[in-house]
Amino acid sequence: MKRLLSTALVCLAACTTAITLPAFAQTAKQRSAVQGTTPYAERSEAMQFAADIAARRDLPLSWVQATLGQARFLPQVPRLMTPAPQGTAKNWNAYRGRFIDPVRIRAGVRFWQTHAAALARAEREYGVPAEIIVGIIGVETVYGQQMGNFRVIDALATLSFDFPQAHPRAAARTAYFRGELEQFLSFTHRSAMDPFALRGSYAGAMGLGQFMPSSWVKWAVDFDGNDHIDLFASPVDAIGSVANYFIAHGWKPGMATHYPVALDSTPEQMSELLGPDILPTFTPERMLALGARVQPPGNAHNGPLALVELQNGADAPLYIAGTENFYAITRYNWSSYYALSVIELGAEVRAAREAARAPRAR
C-alpha cells in the first residue's frame, strides 16, 4: 500500500453515507500539528493545478486556489520519501522487530477484546480473518495511537509539487500524489469540511487504517450503522473498511496467505522463480520442477504462488510461497516485509488473546 471524513456534515456527492469530521481533530495534540513553511500560493504551478482541479471537478475556482494556496511546504517530507541508498541491505528480522513487540501485541489484544463483535462480523460478511484486520490496524497506527500529526493538505501538496527527483519513480509518484490531492480537495469541499483540520501521515494517509483520500472515497464503509463514516474515531468503521478494501483488492475467503518452502534450486532456477517478485505466477508443480518444494498443505494449493524472498542482512534469506491473499495484503503497502509483518502481528495477537482466555490450571 505504501499503501488510501465527524460532527455533522453534508453528504459526500455520489455517496449515500455522510462523513463526519473526526472528534480528535480538536484535541491539543492535533492543534500542535507539524508546521509547514512556504505557502503554495506563491507557486504558479500549484495555482494552475488548482485551476485545473476546479474545472475538472466543477468546484469554485476561488475556493480551490485559496485552499491549496494555504497549504505549506513540509521540508522533512521529501527526505522521508527518499529511498535508502542503493545497496542498503534489507533485514527481515529487524523489520519484524519494529512491528511485533510486547507493547503492540498487548494493545492488539485490548483492541480485539473491545471490538470482538465487529471483527467477527467483518470476518463473517467479508471473509477477511479478524487477525488480518487486527494486524493491519496494529502495523499502521498501533490501534489508533499513532495516526500522524501532519496536516494532510500540507503533506499532499508537498508530495505533489516537491517530490524528490532522485527517487527512481519520481514522475509516477508525483502523478499519484497529485491525484490524491485532487481527491482530497474535492472530497472536503463536497463534504463541507475543513480541509485544514485533518491530520495524518507524511504521505497523507488518514485514520486507524491509514486510508489515502481515494481509498476513503472508494472503500470506506459505515460499518457501525450510524450514517457517518469516521475512520478516525470509529474503530468499527475502520474494521469494516479494511475488510472491504481487501475484498476489492482480490482477497479470497478461506485461502491461506503463505506456506513454508524448501529450496534446492540452481541459480538459473532461482532467477526464474524470483523474476515475478511477489506476483503469484507458479503452480506448486512448476515450483517443484524449479527446485522449490512447497510444504504441505501448500503442495496441494489450488491457485498461483510466488516465491517470496525476505533478506536478512548478512544471514540467509527467508523464503515463503505467497498466495493471492499474500499479494492482496501487499496492495495495502507494496512490500513483502510489510505483508508478513501484518500476518505475524495478527497471529501473535490472536495467540496472546487465546492464551489470556484459556482457563488456568489450579
Report the 10 Å Cβ neighbour count for 167: 15
Q: What is the pTM of this model?
A: 0.88
Q: pLDDT-derived band of residue 166, with 50, 70 and 90 as boundaries?
A: confident
Per-residue pLDDT, 88: 75
Reported as a single tens digit per residue, the pLDDT across 283-314 is 999 999 999 999 999 999 999 999 999 999 98
Residues 153 and 292 in one domain: no
Per-residue pLDDT, 43: 94
Residues 44 and 180 in one domain: yes
Write the DSSP assignment of 121-158 as a string of letters. Answer: HHHHHH---HHHHHHHHHHHHTTTT----EEHHHHHHH
| Residue numbers annotated as active site | 140
Residue 55 falls within a domain, yes or no?
Answer: yes
Residues 185 and 46 in one domain: yes
Residue 96 falls within a domain, yes or no?
Answer: yes
Q: How far apart are alpha carbons 160 and 221 in whole angstroms?
A: 27
Q: What is the mean pLDDT of the chain?
A: 90
Residue after which a domain boundary falls, among 205, 222, 246: 205
Q: How far apart are alpha carbons 207 and 229 in whole angstroms?
A: 11
Is pLDDT of 147 > 90? Answer: yes
Per-residue pLDDT, 32: 54
Compute the C-alpha angle 17/251/126, nearest 5°.
Answer: 45
Domain span at residue 27 reads 21-86+148-205
Per-residue pLDDT, 35: 64
Residues 115 and 131 in one domain: yes
Is pLDDT of 37 > 50? Answer: yes
